[in-house]
Amino acid sequence: MTERVLVKNLAALADGPVTVSGWVETVRDQKKVQFIVLRDESGAVQLVTPATRELVEDDPTSAAKLALTETISGLAHGSFVSVTGELKHDERVKLGGLEVKISSLEVLSAANPETPIAADSSLDKRQDWRFLDLRNPKQNLIFKIQTTFLHAMREYWVDNDFIEIHTPKLMASASESRAELFEVEYFDTTAYLAQSPQFFKQMAQSAGFGKIFEVGPAFRADPSFTSRHATEFTSVDSEISWIESHEDVMKLHEDLIVAGFSAVKAKHGEAIKELFDVEVTVPATPFPRIPLAEAKEIIKERGYEVPRSDDDMDPEGERQIAAYVRETYGHEFVFLTDYAASIRPFYHMRHADNPGLTNSYDLIFNGVEISTGAQREHRVDVLEAQMRDKGMEPKELDFYLDFFRYGAPSHGGFGMGLARVLMLMLHESSIREVTYLFRGPTRLAP
Contact 111, 77 (CB under 8 A): yes
Sheet with 183-186, side-by-side order of all strands: 170-171, 189-193, 183-186
Residue stretches of the annotated binding site: 176, 220, 369, 372, 376, 417-420
Residue 190 pairs in a beta bridge with: 185
- Average pLDDT by stretches of 10, the chain with 446 residues: 89 97 97 97 97 83 93 97 97 95 97 93 96 96 98 98 98 73 95 95 98 97 91 98 98 98 98 98 98 96 85 93 98 98 96 96 98 98 96 92 97 98 97 97 95
pLDDT of residue 176: 64
CA–CA distance, 295 with 405 (Å, rounded to integer): 38
Q: Which amino acid type is present at position 426?
A: L
Length, in residues, of the chain: 446
Q: Which amino acid type is present at position 11?
A: A
Contact 182, 219 (CB under 8 A): yes
List, in order of start, the domains of the chain with CATH numbers: 7-109 (2.40.50.140), 128-433 (3.30.930.10)
CA–CA distance, 401 with 331 (Å, rounded to integer): 40
Q: Which amino acid type is present at position 222?
A: D
For the four alpha carbons of 352, 353, 355 and 357, in that order, the dihedral sign comes to negative
Q: What is the DSSP letter of 104?
A: E
Contact 84, 1 (CB under 8 A): yes
CA–CA distance, 128 with 147 (Å, rounded to integer): 24
pLDDT of residue 311: 81
For the four alpha carbons of 103, 106, 111 and 114, in that order, the dihedral sign comes to positive
- CB-side exposure of 35: number of CA atoms within 13 Å? 12
Angle at 276 between CA 272 and CA 281, to 5 degrees: 55
Picking from 314, 381, 373, the residue whose alpha carbon sits closest to that of residue 344 is 373
Residue stretches of the annotated binding site for L-aspartate: 176, 220, 372, 376
Instruction: Mention every residue, 6+ apart, whose C-beta is less than 8 A from residue 277.
Output: none
Confirm whether pTM is higher than 0.85: yes
Q: Cis peptide before 286, with omega less than 30 degrees from 0?
A: yes
CA–CA distance, 193 with 416 (Å, rounded to integer): 18
Task: For 44-93, write each residue's pLDDT tens digit.
Answer: 999 999 999 888 777 888 899 999 999 999 999 999 999 999 999 999 99
Picking from 253, 287, 260, the residue whose alpha carbon sits closest to that of residue 414 is 253
Using DSSP, state whether 149 is helix, strand or coil: helix
Helices (H), 24-129: 62-73, 123-128
Picking from 289, 313, 283, the residue whose alpha carbon sits closest to that of residue 421 is 283
How large is the greatest C-alpha to C-alpha distance in the chain, in angstroms?
98
pLDDT of residue 161: 98
Burial 237-247 (b: 16+ CB within 10 A, else e): bbbbbebebbb
Using DSSP, state whether 425 is helix, strand or coil: helix
Contact 253, 414 (CB under 8 A): yes
The beta-carbon contacts of 113-116 under 8 Å, at least 24 apart in sequence, are 113/76, 115/77, 115/78
Using DSSP, state whether 36 is helix, strand or coil: strand
pLDDT of residue 119: 87
Residue stretches of the annotated binding site for ATP: 369, 417-420
